[in-house]
């Protein structure tokens, strides 16, 4: 399900270029164009869901798989939390009150040395 004039639907479809770090049937992950940290990745479902507030019980499996993908990507990017420490931040901005700019559900993965830039 894509949404006309949705930036992230277009990125998922390859109609707008991005630096992808992962792509599968259900999700795409790519570098944020204005990185707030050394590692700043956005993970999106191909399905157009505007915000976390638009999710329903039927989206629970998708959201679960999205969080597991975040964890797998953190491993791939070298920032997973392991016995050797390190870790990462996961952010989902929701609606104007949450500072959301792009209305296609996405999880930010942020990691790396401080200071990080302000998001938004």
Give catalytic residue positions: 106
User: Binding partner of residue 3 among ligand 5GP, Zn ion, none, CB under 5 to 8 Å per kind?
Assistant: Zn ion
Cis peptide, bond prior to residue 115, ω within 30 of zero: yes
According to CB under 6 A, which residues from 2 to 21 bind ligand 5GP? 7, 18
Contacts of residues 88-95 at CB distance under 8 Å and 24 or more positions apart, as own/partner, are: 88/39, 91/119, 92/52, 93/119, 93/120, 94/51, 94/52, 94/53, 95/51, 95/53
User: Contact between 99 and ligand 5GP (CB under 6 A)?
Assistant: yes
From 8, 98, 93, select the one nearest 44 (Cα to Cα).
8
Smallest gap from residue 50 Cβ to Zn ion (A): 8
According to CB under 6 A, which residues from 57 to 96 bind ligand 5GP? 93
Binds Zn ion (CB under 5 A): choice among 3, 31, 47, 89: 3
Contacts with ligand 5GP by CB under 6 A: the residue count is 15
Binds ligand 5GP (CB under 6 A): choice among 37, 46, 100, 111: 100
Residues in the chain: 120
């Amino acid at each position: 399900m894509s949404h006309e004039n949705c930036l992230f639907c277009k990125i998922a479809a390859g109609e707008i270029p991005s630096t992808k770090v992962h792509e599968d049937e259900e999700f795409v992950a790519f570098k944020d164009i204005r990185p707030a940290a050394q590692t700043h990745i956005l993970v999106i479902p191909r399905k157009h869901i505007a915000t976390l507030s638009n999710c329903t019980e039927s989206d629970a499996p998708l959201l679960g798989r999205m969080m597991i993908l975040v964890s797998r990507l953190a491993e791939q990017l070298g920032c997973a939390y392991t016995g050797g420490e390190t870790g990462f931040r996961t952010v989902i901005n929701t609606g104007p009150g949450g500072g959301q700019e792009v209305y296609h559900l996405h999880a930010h993965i942020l990691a790396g040395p401080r200071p990080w830039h302000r998001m938004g």
